[in-house]
Structure 1
């Protein structure tokens, strides 16, 4: 069930009324949240709910053992982390590695035949795996005590963030579950603003960009000119930002209405002057998770310059693999890793921010184009599709462009993008000036115009696939 569907909206209104009807009992609210979260996961498949519950029981057992056995806490932590990673690998990467291993066995003439098993990827498994790892590590570091089992189950299954994030940290989110005082709706004007922005971004703008530019150009790249192909890359960069940041706005707004705060996940990423800054601004909860649970444990920047670059590459390769079991995602991660390594080398031998210091605009343009180049591998279904697109980019110089106007429009959008810095705060301020009894009419008018302009069909959340 899409969070943008009319069905979800109506069900959420009914749940919202029931939820706040139990305002004086946060424990009852938690039970309602847990039941609804499992029902939403089960709406995709009842097996997904069962897998999530079994996984929750197993991880909770490891947390109890970590807390109870001070002498062997590290061993229990390592075992728990291995179980988490193996569980994710079996469900998400079995098919990918089965084909690769089978090809290797065939090449070596080894008489080994791996079983052909169709594995369904449970919805949200990447996100609740990361949530559980943060919990185990926090228990080991004694940042928080072992949680109540049902609180922990809600932490892993919390429906606003289980489908496509943001990634919650146990030490930040569990205290929001385990409360005794009645909850309150947090920042209602901000919550409704985020909901409106989400519908506009995902349903309208993202849908239009995808329908007119991304889908037709990526479907047949060899038929388009270089200008059109650049439009396709730029448009996908815009679409994935609108789609993912719009989803984050949506679930953040829902969480605020339920009395919870989710971590900030985006901060105008296409204003970045280099790739390091991009990862500080894009999918912030993931980049911080990778930094804290992969990059720093590998040694971070503490073991010399060369080892630092190796750690960067490993972290970005794992980031690519996390996004999907395919060679194109690994290449996408490798491109970002190589880009950051080159940036680090330049800073070391040419001076910190050697491009930015000379021309911030040039630094921003170079970063933007490199990011758009990497999105090519991210959006391509296979490596051959990406190669076709690259071939067309280097050969279709004489074909007349079909989307020259779109190219100019995107250039204007890119130049105007810095003006959106305070857009959310400005919109919230305008809402506070409107009398409360007019607000429903304003919301209905905005939603009606959005639905009227938007293309037909229900848009997918791109990051729900990861």
Structure 2
């Protein structure tokens, strides 16, 4: 979805004005959001993508109605199983049937149907995200977490799944509240109450919303784009020609590029949601300050992490079967989440990525378990996160090691196959004396270190900027915000950036 494009930049203000003309009627506003979302999907993707969303929505709606009509808990569970199975099969078909595209095309051609599957077989935009939302909706209906009279009507459900703010890359919005999934004020922000509310909406924290949008644009358009063109892409394209320090910097830079890209996009949609009176869940909360891997996953792509917890880890057994079984459940959930990121020839590298993170979490839990048994340790009130009890130096060291683990695991994302890892690490270990360090390497490393040191305070920069603007004359605020936008455009690389996570 081209939220950073000339067409969208011109169209959103017009939609904004139309949307708020119907402020007394939230139901009409919901309809406008649905129509606009489907129109944008059609414009930026295709009619086939719109059809995919509509068909999926009808399927989920009918399964939910069938569960409602069932007189027994067993019947409702059967309908839930059928609905989740169909949703998962639909996801697997589009993501993993790529190798069968050519044989299927040849088979159809042999029967007189000459269909160009090379251009037609494309992953529908937003498939994973509305599939995850559909599964969570069905589970909540089966559990009875949604009262019968408050379940979403068909058009409401279509607006929930296809919302243009979230359909491309989340956040994965739930119809019910979920632990760890909160808005910019750390308040619960389920979609059901917002869709069903009949009180007039209002623009939420407009100055903060605009500052958040500017921060998102700066991260995604300027910083992520600059890192890609100057630091990351050239090195990963041919690591043998670069110094080991260049390669190390590119490894750090890729994680930072991915973070700026994805968190910037999330800031952008959360800010636009506030302008439309909607509270979307915050998807990133300073993950590169996490002092262990468990905390990292509580801060990175939060809506997906919480979804994995609630709909993979807990159904697998969670922590109900003892310590060893808990670790197996955790490992399985992380491998499955890794597999979700890729398809076809990329299957193994993403499975390995999930396995590495799973093993890291398991080792962390084993360490916590060992320290919890030490004499006197329980007296400190800590059964987990034992590093946090060892003082600031230990926290800084553990944060650095956590970030390095994350960075080196993310090496698996930009490479095309696992065979590229060997020359990359060979160059990292040997290109020290015979290759000159690149001109950007030392300044970029220094900038990364400074940013990391300032990040605890800088993470709240949009809030601080909004507070500062609020103390200025009202007429001056739009001019400063517009100046910030112009500055970002001037500093950003040429062209409109794509979205990195759309590749996973």
TM-score band, normalised by shorter chain: over 0.9
Instruction: Tell me the residue number matched to 2:186.
Output: none
1:123 aligns with 2:125: yes
- d(CA) in 2 for partners of 1:65, 1:386: 50
The one of 68, 82, 85 aligned to 1:82: 85
Structure 2 residue 76 is matched with structure 1 residue 73: yes
* 1:126-177, Cα deviation, whole Å (9 max, x unpaired): 0000010111011111111332111111111111000110000022102211
The equivalent residue for 2:463 is 425
Structure 2 residues not aligned, in runs of 5+? 102-115, 177-189, 373-383
Q: Is 1:329 aligned with 2:346? A: no
**Matched residue, 2:110:** none
Q: TM-score scaled by structure 2? A: 0.86
Aligned-partner Cα distance in 2 for 1:219–1:136? 44
Query: TM-score scaled by structure 1?
Result: 0.93
Distance 2:337 2:137 in 1: 20
- Aligned-pair CA distance for 1:188: 1.0
Residues 423-445 of structure 1: CA deviation (Å, up to 9, x unaligned): 22211101211211112211111
Instruction: Output aligned runs, 1:3-402, within 5 Å.
Output: 3-43=3-43, 44-71=45-72, 72-95=75-98, 118=118, 119-144=121-146, 145=148, 146-171=151-176, 172-325=190-343, 326=346, 327-351=348-372, 352-358=384-390, 359-398=394-433, 399-402=435-438
Contact in 2 for aligned 1:356/1:362 (Cα 8 Å): no
1-side partners of 2:471 and 2:420: how far apart? 51
Structure 1 residue 32: deviation in Å?
1.1
The question of 1:405 aligning with 2:408 is answered no
Query: Which shows bigger deviation, 32-41 or 353-362?
Result: 353-362
The Cα offsets for residues 433-458 of structure 1, whole Å up to 9 and x where unpaired, read as: 12111122111111111111111011
Shift of 1:204: 1.1
Kindly state the Cα deviation for residue 401 of structure 1 after the two structures are TM-superposed: 1.8
Residue of structure 2 in register with 1:459 after alignment: 497
Worse-matched range after superposition: 171-180 or 161-170: 171-180
Is residue 2:434 matched to residue 1:434? no
Aligned length: 452
Q: Distance in 1 between matches of 2:349 and 2:416?
A: 8
Q: Who is 1:106 aligned against?
A: none
Structure 1 residues 190 and 344, CA gap change in structure 2 (3 angstroms): same
Partner of 1:446: 484
Q: Distance in 2 between matches of 1:193 and 1:150?
A: 32
The alignment partner of 1:180 has SS state of coil
**Cα deviations across residues 266-288 of structure 1 (Å, max 9, x unaligned)?**
11101111100000011111101
For the residues of structure 2 that align with 1:190 and 1:67, how far apart are their CA atoms?
A: 42
Query: How far did residue 355 of structure 1 move?
Result: 4.3
Greater mean alpha carbon deviation, residues 332-341 or residues 179-188: 179-188
Q: Would you say the 8 A contact 2:294–2:361 is kept in 1?
A: yes
Whether the aligned pair in 2 keeps the contact of 1:152 and 1:174 (CA below 8 Å) is: no
Q: How far did residue 354 of structure 1 move?
A: 4.6
Moved over 3 A (4+): 350-358
Q: CA deviation at 1:409?
A: 2.5
- 1:321, distance to aligned residue in structure 2 (A): 1.4
Distance 1:354-1:253 versus aligned 2 partners, 3 A rule: closer
CA-CA distance at 1:293 after TM superposition? 0.6
The separation in 2 between residues aligned to 1:175 and 1:361, in whole angstroms, is: 41
Cα distance in 2 for residues equivalent to 1:91 and 1:434: 52
Q: What is the CA distance between 1:394 and its match in structure 2?
A: 2.3
Structure 1: any 5+ residue segments left out of the alignment? 100-115
C-alpha distance 250-421 of structure 1, shift in aligned 2 (>3 A): closer
CA distance in 2, matches of 1:29, 1:86: 33
Query: Equivalents in 1 of 2:306, 2:466: separation in Å?
Result: 28
Secondary structure in 2 aligned to 1:41? helix
